Amino acid sequence: MSFDCIIVGAGPAGGSAAYHLAKRGRKVLVLEREALPRYKPCGGGVSPMVQQWFDFDLMPAVSLTVRSIRYTWQMGDPQEVELDSQEPVWMVRRDVFDHYLIQQSQKQGAEVRDQISVTGIAWQGDRWEVQTDVEPLTGRYLIAADGAKGSLAKWLGFKDRKRRMGAALEVEAPATDHNTKSAHFDFGTVQNGYIWNFPKEDGYSIGVGTFIGGEKQNLKEIGSQYAQLFGVDFAAVRAFGHPLCLWDGDQALHTQNALLAGEAACVVDPFTAEGIRPSLLTGMLAAEAIDGAIAGNADALPGYTARVHEAWGADMAWAQKISGIFYRIPGFAYKIGVKRPSATKRMGQILCGELRYRDVAGSAIKKLTKGLIPGMG
């Protein structure tokens, strides 16, 4: 049996691509190594603007919405800000959210096979043969949506992708009596990153992330100390560590009848480490490109790379500049970039998708660079 497209990975990128391709009548197969629904360590914050990319309601997969953000500096000096936005930020559990997307793609005719490992790929002249631990499968096109630790990008020849590797450690802690409706961020405790607590309907997602390198830190010890503020014993719940493929410059995301999407395409925000929104976006754009290629558009796959650069990469260049300054001088950055109501209002609008980094970068960089000049901070 041959497919129009085989998608490896059932996360947001894979689910988005499968839905949009299947809806166009293409024969789609999604392969997932884990049993679905599967747990994925992730804060689970999602901009509500992603709804515009789908013609079905995503709210059934949303655990909680938040309308305020609480910032702290080294677990003190709190600053709480109401989000001045049309829509609240969504908080999702990835096992629920990702599987919901996959179920929607199945309703459109996509075939999904879980608990199947891809062991290799080979180009057969006019289609890809995908080797698995069960049987070989063939597809005219291939989407690598297998995340930061996946092998597809390497097998497709993307051996030296531009990416900045980050790391995160996270726990999911049950909390039946919590009443917080705020997303929590702590700066200054972890170098080149932050700590977060994103509430869900039945608990917390507490994590520690470092995004731009730096000295090795004991993320588990830092996270454990922070979790105590919310009555969570880090040692009593399982911690998950995972790498992050942060955006580090535009690059080719297409090759012979194949595309990279989601974290395999290194599109994670280098400032906030937001990954769900760009994964959904690149999945949709990949589906549109492959649909066009099947229809005979020879420029469809190169066009995908160009569209990702335009729609996401151009803004991530500004995010990277802000990140590079912010995490070099976090104390000053917290003072002028978090404690100022106007700055936090704009950051909330960015998190909600109502503003882009390019809209605020000039002013933000100008204010932040004062902290790099002796006597100006």
pLDDT tens-digit map of 95-152? 999 999 999 999 999 999 999 999 999 999 999 999 999 999 999 999 999 999 999 9
Total count of residues recorded for the chain: 377
pLDDT per residue as tens, the chain (377 positions): 799 999 999 999 999 999 999 999 999 999 999 999 999 889 999 999 999 999 999 999 999 999 889 999 999 999 888 887 778 899 999 999 999 999 999 999 999 999 999 999 999 999 999 999 999 999 999 999 999 999 999 999 998 899 999 999 999 988 866 667 789 999 999 999 999 999 999 899 999 999 876 457 888 999 999 999 998 998 889 999 989 999 999 999 999 999 999 999 999 999 999 999 999 999 999 999 999 999 999 999 999 999 999 999 999 999 999 999 999 999 999 998 888 878 878 888 888 888 899 998 888 888 888 765 544 34
Q: Taking the C-alpha atoms of 157, 162, 168 and 174 in order, what is their torsion angle to the nearest 10 degrees?
A: -70
Which helix (H) or strand (E) element contains residue 342?
A: helix 341-351
Q: How many CA atoms lie within 13 A of 30 on its CB side?
A: 36
Question: What is the rounded CA–CA span in Å between residue 214 and residue 165?
Answer: 11
Q: Among 282, 311, 246, which residue's Cα sits nearest to residue 9?
A: 282
Question: What is the rounded CA–CA span in Å between residue 85 and residue 71?
Answer: 18
Which pLDDT score, from 0 to 100, does residue 368 have?
A: 85
Which pLDDT score, from 0 to 100, does residue 159 have?
A: 83
For 200-224, how does the pLDDT look when each residue is reduced to its tens digit (9 = 90+)? 998 999 999 998 764 578 889 999 9
Place of tokens 């080719």: 252
Q: What angle do CA 50, 57, 309 make, to 5 degrees?
A: 20
pTM of the full predicted structure?
0.95
Q: What are phi and psi of 158, to 5 degrees?
A: -90, 70
Which pLDDT score, from 0 to 100, does residue 214 have?
A: 47
Question: What is the rounded CA–CA span in Å between residue 71 and residue 187?
Answer: 8
Which pLDDT score, from 0 to 100, does residue 373 have?
A: 53
Q: Collect all residues with Cβ–Cβ distance below 8 Å to 7 and sequence separation of at least 6.
A: 14, 17, 18, 21, 28, 29, 30, 31, 142, 143, 145
Task: Answer for the pair 352, 87: CB distance below 8 angstroms, yes or no.
Answer: yes
Which pLDDT score, from 0 to 100, does residue 217 have?
A: 83
Question: What is the rounded CA–CA span in Å between residue 134 and residue 284?
Answer: 28
CA dist 226 → 190, 195, 321 (Å): 11, 8, 28
Which pLDDT score, from 0 to 100, does residue 377 have?
A: 40
Domains along the sequence of the chain with CATH: 2-64+89-163+247-318 (3.50.50.60), 164-245 (3.30.9.10), 329-372 (no CATH)
